[in-house]
Amino acid sequence: MRPSPSRGRSWLASFRSRPVTLFSPHSGSECLRRLALVTTTRGETSWYLDPRTAGRPEPRLRGNVGPSGLFVTRLSVARWKHAGGSFAAWLDARLEPAAGEGTRLQGTIGLGPAARTVISLNALVYALMAVAACSGGIALVVQGHPGAVALAVLAPIGLAALFAGFSVAGLRSLERDIPKLIGEINGLLDSSATSPGACVY
């Protein structure tokens, strides 16, 4: 059965960042202060060895926090060195004054740019391997090795299945991580989702 175009588009959409809007009762400067206290641009080892961080709360986020906004992920996910870490959720948001008082954080949440690059490169490598295997199998068949037709047919299918399995596992990991990151931010800023159509956790 051939996958429908809509299903294919839905699968591709899973890799895109989705909009998110949060409202905090605190001022923008207070939100930035709270986030900066627990955000590091470095690894945990560097954090603990730096005397400037003495007395500060343990880091919970990794990334950048500044007046222009924030781009952060959970530190416990950022430390991963295996492939699954590529599917960590990143929050990219700007801070704006909310109507009345408080602060609105508006932006997107999903895969980081580096992760998208890695996934694209992986897809290219798998595609090149599949083409090479298929071409090699066809060449062997032409040379009089009919059994090589299995290589020409099964190798690309196997490689496609491997890449699909990797992607599905990674996307499931991303879906689990998104509410955890939102929860981390909510806990730090006493914030909650506020606008229709945004991610609500």
Specify if 129 maps to a domain: yes
pTM over the 0.75 mark: no
| pLDDT at residue 200, as a whole number | 43
Specify if 12 maps to a domain: no
- Per the structure, how many domains does the chain have? 1
| pLDDT at residue 196, as a whole number | 43
| pLDDT at residue 81, as a whole number | 40
Distance CA 146, CA 161 (A): 24
Residue 70, domain extent: 18-193
* C-beta pairs of 168-176 under 8 Å, 24+ apart in sequence: 169/84, 170/83, 170/84, 170/86, 170/87, 170/119, 171/14, 171/15, 171/87, 173/84, 173/87, 174/14, 174/87, 174/88, 174/89, 174/110, 174/111
Distance CA 101, CA 114 (A): 36
| pLDDT at residue 12, as a whole number | 55
Q: Name residue 109's beta-bridge partners.
A: 18, 91
Specify if 77 maps to a domain: yes
| Intervals of the chain under pLDDT 50 | 1-2, 8, 81-84, 195-201
Distance CA 10, CA 28 (A): 36
Whether the CB-CB separation of 107 and 20 falls below 8 Å is answered with yes
| pLDDT at residue 9, as a whole number | 52
